[in-house]
Structure 1
Amino acid sequence: MKATRIVSESGGLPARHIDAFLDRLRAAHYSEVTLRKKRRVLCAFSRWMKNRNIDLVDLDESAMARFMKRLTDAPADRVHCERAALRSFLAYLRAEAIVRSPTLGGQSAIAQIYSRYLAYLRQDRGLAENSVLVYGPFIRDFLSSHDAGDGSVLANAFDAVTIRDHLLAHSKGRSAEYTRLMTVALRSFCHFLFLRGDTARDLYESVPPVRKWRQSTVPTFLTPEQEEALIATTDRSTPRGLRDYAVLLLLARLGLRAGEVVALELGDVRWRTGELVVHGKGQMVEHVPLPSEVGEAIAMYLRDGRGVSASRRVFLRICAPRVGLAGPAAIGHIVRLAFTRAGFRPACRGAAHLFRHGLATTMIRHGASIAEIAEVLRHRSQDSTAVYAKVAFEDLRGVARSWPTAGGAI
């Protein structure tokens, strides 16, 4: 049953916009309790705007930030709830062209460079969103540390010595992996500056790379018995259980990466040909066979657990809004919940990737070659697959030399 509508203008925000926004959320399966909470926040914000003579056309993040200052001593959950309501409402107004979206012309010089660099990573380099989220903050920190004070960049910021000094200063006390990622980002940024014409020559080579030595440890993996125990913990009588069961099978049977599971769309499941279209790293698109067990799990979820949604993603959030999963971390959360139910405690990060390691380990122990494993895991280089040779313990014992005995005899 729909909540009672506001029939009069709600202060600084016209009631029709609030009602239309809440109707949009209602269509996305938000509960009426949540909608009433959001309505109260928006009505309070509307009264606040009216008292300060803030018109709808002037609504932006700064106005919301001033409104939120009244919650200095409020509980964290209330602050989070109100901030989320205001942000989603502003995004709705901008999407409907009711409020102007920020343009490059209104941004500072640093903000413009940063926005264009992110666009370069996505469009020109074809980086996955996860990679953009890794490299972007390094460049944002670099630009912020060379702010002239008015939003512009210092004159000597794009200089080889300045960039190297920044690298040295920000790598102190940091791990080798953090420093390596920072150098990769800075080298990429230098190439971007050269392509834009901001530097006379490409300073890419002026940033020394950090060598990453291949680890000598044996990769952590799940045994087939552990995988089956984890899959068996799902309650397939519930929508969540149907979804999680299909996700775990994709990880275990096909060795998909977490991000690849998240990116699956309805059109990627080719039922007639029995294959799955996988959108992998570096915008690679590959077709993999769809085992009947996995196909049946996906079909059951689509029929009985997914529900109605405008999203084309295969796997959706359980709670509103009913849209695709936010990212690979959501898959990791599903796996960690399965670990908890099964009583497992993995001693490493990247829980979802343990299934991928387990598939490779099982294959090599059944006599598969490195080339065959690389093909199944869709590695572009067999060097990435060679690490799994370390788990063939029996084969390694056959080539190991015997330990010398006393007196030098072998």
Structure 2
Amino acid sequence: MHSESFRIPDDIPSSLHPLIEQFCADALRVRGVTKQTVRSDICYLCRFFRHFGSSGSSMKLIQAVSPESIGIFLQVYAETFSSSSLERMQILLRSFLRFAYRFSLIGRDLSALVPTRKRRRLGTVPRKLPDECIARLRNGIDHGTTAGLRDSAMICLLATYGVRGVQIRRLRLADIDWRNERIRFPSAKGGRPIEQHLVAEAGNLLSGYIRHARPESEHPEVFLTLCEPFRPLPSAAYLSDTVKRHIKRLGLVLPGGVSHGTHGFRHAFASRLVGKVPFNDLVDQLGHRDPASTLIYGKVDLDGLRQAALPWPGGGQ
């Protein structure tokens, strides 16, 4: 993308770039969203475009959009991504379809066909990425390439510390204290910063990426894009898509409802600690400012739930 602020993923055909650029400009001017929101919109919009394969041109892609194709896409998306990601995609699709109608790209406004999904707080059980899948992801990336060195370091941090994707994206070189073997992740979603011991594997992978693969740059962020102009990762969705590509490449089949992005690592990290560390320690390690945000992980503590169960009336089982 020629804009200074935004970048379109390399796998998106250049014939679609004008459509994406027009949508972004309209979002800034008409919807009044922030540049950060637009960066996230690009990642979600590109996921939608990829569903239709190599469309060749914006007109061919638009012609492929129909009530049926929208429904099929959302069904596939719901099987792959988390409920929060699905909700975000639905918001993006409604905005894009209204935009397409206003600019006469489609004959009628299809935005009303995108269902609204309401989530209840604590209404779901966290679905963690299985340990064997995490192990294969950590061991199945080629360290002989620039992309492999970068991605293996990011996945190691996700698995080791259970941080959010946005915290990996915002991690700065100054946040790594090599001398004292400490690493500090910035706060996210109103939470608190997380400071932890820099374990040997994470330190080695970070060092390998920074010394041998990270391009020279004035940007303070640790992780940069792979193609010029080199810049910080544009959004947390970019990192989720990176994880998803490795899951697909390795042929990993995840249980239904498990996030294919970064959050499955966080759920796995929290699930390993539940029942093994005091609740307040779990709150601190997840970086939650409000302890209520951590309560949902109590649902995965089956041993604790069994101990809290009341006797069945009448002495039955």
Instruction: Answer yes or no: is 1:375 the counterpart of 2:274.
Output: no
Match of 1:175 among 100, 116, 119: 116
1:147-182 Cα offsets, whole Å, 9 max, x none, are: xxxxxxxxxxxxxxxxxxxxxxx99985253xxxxx
Whether the 8 Å contact between 2:125 and 2:299 is mirrored in structure 1 is: yes
1:391 and 2:294 aligned: no
Alpha-carbon distance in 1 for matches of 2:287, 2:191: 13
Mapped partners of 2:18, 2:296: distance in 1: 49
Q: Tell me, which stretches of 5 or more residues in structure 1 are unaligned?
A: 1-20, 25-33, 35-75, 88-109, 145-169, 178-211
Aligned counterpart in structure 1 of residue 264 of structure 2, from 331, 354, 357:
354
Distance 2:19 2:131 in 1: 45
Report the equivalent of 2:75: none
**1:328 and 2:269 matched:** no
- Give the distance between the partners of 1:346 and 1:267, measured in 2 at CA: 38
Q: How many matched pairs?
A: 241
Higher relative contact order (CA 8 A, sep 6+): 2
d(CA) in 1 for partners of 2:208 and 2:29?
A: 46
What is the DSSP-based 3-state SS (H/G/I as helix, E as strand, rest coil) of the residue aligned with 2:196? strand
CA pair 377-130 structure 1, distance change in 2 beyond 3 A: farther
Q: Letter of the aligned partner of 1:397 in structure 2?
A: R
Write the mapping of 1:6-25 to structure 2, written as runs, cut at 5 A.
Answer: none
The correspondence for 1:249, drawn from 148, 156, 162, is: 156
Distance 1:82 1:390, change over 3 A: closer
CA drift at 1:240: 1.1
Instruction: Identify which of 2, 9, 15 aligns with 1:79.
Output: 15
Aligned-pair distance for 1:309? 2.9
Task: Tell me by how many angstroms 1:315 deviates.
Answer: 1.0
Distance 1:399 1:333 in 2: 40
Give the Cα–Cα distance (whole angstroms) in 1 for the partners of residues 29 and 235 of structure 2. Answer: 25
Q: Does 1:261 align with 2:164?
A: no
Q: Give SS of 2:184's match.
A: strand
C-alpha spacing 1:82/1:221, structure 2 compared with 1 (3 Å): closer
Select the residue among 218, 231, 252 that pairs with 2:138. 231
Cα gap change, 1:335 to 1:173, in 2 (>3 Å): closer
Tell me, in whole angstroms, the C-alpha distance in 1 between the residues paired with 2:135 and 2:126. Answer: 20
Q: In structure 2, what is the equivalent of residue 306 of structure 1?
A: 214
Tell me: CA distance 1:224–1:409, structure 2 relative to 1, closer, same or farther (3 Å): closer
- Indicate if the aligned counterparts of 1:231 and 1:338 stay in contact, CA closer than 8 A: no
Change (3 A) 1:400 1:296: same
Distance across 2 between alignment mates of 1:402 and 1:217: 26
Look up the SS of the partner of 1:288 in the other structure.
strand
**Cα offsets for 1:85-109 (capped at 9, x unmatched):** x99xxxxxxxxxxxxxxxxxxxxxx
The alpha carbon displacement at 1:317 in A equals 1.5
Displacement, 1:239? 1.3
Check whether the contact 2:128–2:264 (CA below 8 A) recurs between aligned residues. yes
Secondary structure in 2 matching 1:385: helix
- Structure 1: distance between partners of 2:18 and 2:122: 46
Q: CA deviation at 1:236?
A: 1.1
Q: Report the AA paired with residue 79 of structure 1.
A: S
Is the 8 Å Cα contact of residues 240 and 262 (structure 2) preserved in structure 1?
A: yes
Q: Is the 8 A contact 2:151 2:242 kept in 1?
A: yes
What's the offset of the Cα at 1:224? Answer: 3.1
Say whether residues 1:222 and 2:132 are aligned partners: no
The secondary structure found in structure 1 opposite 2:121 is: coil
Alpha-carbon distance between aligned partners in 2 of 1:399 and 1:284, rounded to the nearest angstrom: 31
Cα distance in 1, alignment partners of residues 294 and 270 from structure 2: 8
Partners of 1:229 and 1:342 within 8 A in 2: no
Deviation of 1:275 after TM superposition, in Å, equals 1.9
- Counting aligned pairs with the same residue, the percent is 25
> Alpha-carbon deviations, 1:365-408, whole Å to 9, x = none?
4x21221111100101111111111112123223324555xxx4
Paired letter, 1:389: G
**Structure with larger Rg:** 1
Offset at 1:308? 2.5
Give yes or no for the alignment of 1:316 onto 2:221.
no
Q: Hey, what does 1:363 align to over in structure 2?
A: 273
CA 231–173 in structure 1, closer or farther in 2 if over 3 Å, else same: closer
Following the alignment from structure 2 to structure 1, what is the Cα–Cα distance between the partners of residues 18 and 307? 65
Residue type of the partner of 2:206?
A: I
Quick one: structure 1 residues 332 and 79, their matched pair in 2 at CA, closer, same or farther if it must change by over 3 Å?
same
Following superposition, the deviation at residue 338 of structure 1 comes to 2.6
Q: 2-side partners of 1:81 and 1:226: how far apart?
A: 35
Amino acid paired to 1:225: E
Shifted more, 274-283 versus 236-245: the winner is: 274-283
Whether contact under 8 Å (2:184, 2:193) holds in the other structure is yes
SS in 1 for 2:141: coil
SS at match of 2:156: helix
Q: Is the 8 A contact 2:191 2:289 kept in 1?
A: no
Residues 345/222 of structure 1: CA separation in 2 closer, same or farther (3 Å cut): closer
